Amino acid sequence: MELGNYSPRIREALEKAGVGIGDMIAVEKSGSTHRGILLPRPQIGGEPGSLLIKLDNGYNIGIKYGPQVTIEKLQGGRRLEAFPSHELVQNPDLPRISIVATGGTISSRLDYETGGVKWRMESGQIFYMAPEIQDIVRIGRVTTPFLVGSENMSAMHWRKMAQEVARELDDGAEGVIVTHGTDLMHYSSAALSFMLRSLRKPVVFTGSQRSTDRGSTDASMNLLCSAVVAGSCDLGEVTLVMHGTMEDTHCLIHRGTRVRKMHTSRRDAFRSINELPIGRVWPDGRVELRGGHTPRGEGEVNLDYVFEEKVALLKFYPGMEPEVMDFLVDRGYRGIMMEVTALGHLATDESQRNLLPSVERALEEGVVIAAAPQTLYGRTDPLVYSEGRKVWKLGVVYCGDMLPETAYVKLGWVLGHDVDQETAGEMMVKNIAGEISPVSDPRAFLT
């Protein structure tokens, strides 16, 4: 990496001090000295008149360059491209688990030249983040079926993940950790909750909100807590384990069909919706389960990984044109998951934006239309108001307190079995993987 992105004045000072990218330097300014690794200036963004260095604690700082700044090269330069690795010392007496690595922030580090992150994934590099994992579990296999950001995943990736997980569990693993990008991780956890039938061992999704080379990374504790759950927790479900607070205190264990990312950047971004988390877990091995979950057991996994990809997730909004739904029907979509307002409403007046004719046409052509609440919390009940009754009478399936994203995944999975419209509706309101309940837990609101 060259000095080219720095200003001519800074390049001249660095060259005079014999400093290059990746060298350890001391920068003195206004009586304060900062020591760290000289980083390249990003190609886009950043302060052009500042030096960028990485401190020993993992954080990066920028120092405004000026006449009062002195730069000294120190001994012990490092290569920025290198990411340290750790070889585990396996204890044969510990429970054996497997890891399925799929990408995301937990599988990346900062690309200092571009200012973004880039993928890196070797098993030893994962374990360097959390070497204590060797005191919790024995790692059988680490597989990498693909490395993509969660925004690039589709049903094809869900099926591949389900295959990998089922193979590892049927081969004797006590549990499986799936490392995953956080943005759409709750879609994948829901998908595997439906695709892995007869599951009696824990499958744990985890990731990180901060890249692994940052001092504030949450990857280490998330991975350790996930290992505790996968290796020894009395669970036989798909779960998602992430930070429970902004601090490094404990992680929450969420049901795979009841969890959602609720913040763009907080380390405790994931929350259970309409039910309390299954439990809490600490990196020292302590676990608290609240009950209401499937316990561990024996038996092979029934891999049921069908999915109908002609399914859409459609959010109702003010002024929505009926032609939006007509377009999906004309394109051959078999299912439409509607995010409805309040208890289950759509525009139904006699204006040109009345959606009822388009809904009726779609249903007559065999499309399954399901409804879940935009509010996320609470449940649909179309019988309370007359507007909801109009929609319900046409045959729209109301999904109670199911999350819209979970309902979308479930609808694709249901229709993947090539069932008729009536059977699909019956399956949508049947609890299959803890995704729907007759009564929502009021204690779960905004917890």
Tokens of 322: 């009926």
Query: Could you state, in order of their start, the residue ranges of all structural domains in the chain?
Result: 8-73, 96-303, 311-428
Q: Note the pLDDT of residue 415.
A: 98
Number of C-beta neighbours around residue 198 at 10 A: 12
Number of C-beta neighbours around residue 121 at 10 A: 18
Q: Note the pLDDT of residue 53.
A: 86
Q: Residues 349-365: pLDDT tens digits?
A: 877 789 999 999 999 99
CATH homologous superfamily for the domain 96-303: L-asparaginase, N-terminal domain (3.40.50.1170)
CATH of 311-428, one of 3.30.200.20, 3.40.50.40, 2.60.40.10, 3.30.310.50: 3.40.50.40
Please, are residues 256 and 282 in contact by the beta-carbon 8 Å criterion? no
Average pLDDT taken over every residue of the chain = 90
For residue 218, pLDDT beyond 80:
yes
Please, are residues 127 and 219 in contact by the beta-carbon 8 Å criterion? no
Enumerate the active-site residues: 105, 182-183, 261
Q: Note the pLDDT of residue 44.
A: 60
CATH topology classification for 8-73? SH3 type barrels. (2.30.30)
Largest CA distance in the chain: 79
For residue 107, pLDDT beyond 60:
yes
Q: Residues 51-89: pLDDT tens digits?
A: 888 887 767 888 999 888 999 999 866 655 556 677 888
With CA atoms as reference, report the closest residue to 258 among 106, 397, 159, 404: 404
What is the DSSP code string of 4-53? Answer: TTS-HHHHHHHHHTT--TT-EEEEEETTEEEEEEEPPPPSSSS-TTEEEE
CA–CA distance, 165 with 98 (Å, rounded to integer): 8
- The percent of residues above 70 in pLDDT, for the chain, comes to 90
Q: Number of helices and strands (H, E) in the chain? A: 10, 23
DSSP H or E stretch at residue 203: strand 203-206
Common-topology check for domains 96-303 and 311-428: yes
* 43 alpha carbon, distance to own chain's centre: 28
Q: Residues 263-274: pLDDT tens digits?
A: 999 999 999 999
Q: Is the dihedral of CA 381, 384, 388, 394 positive or negative?
A: positive
Unique residue bearing structure tokens 């990998």: 164
pTM comes to 0.86
| Amino acid (1-letter code) at residue 437 | S
- The percent of residues above 90 in pLDDT, for the chain, comes to 70
With CA atoms as reference, report the closest residue to 227 among 155, 121, 130: 130
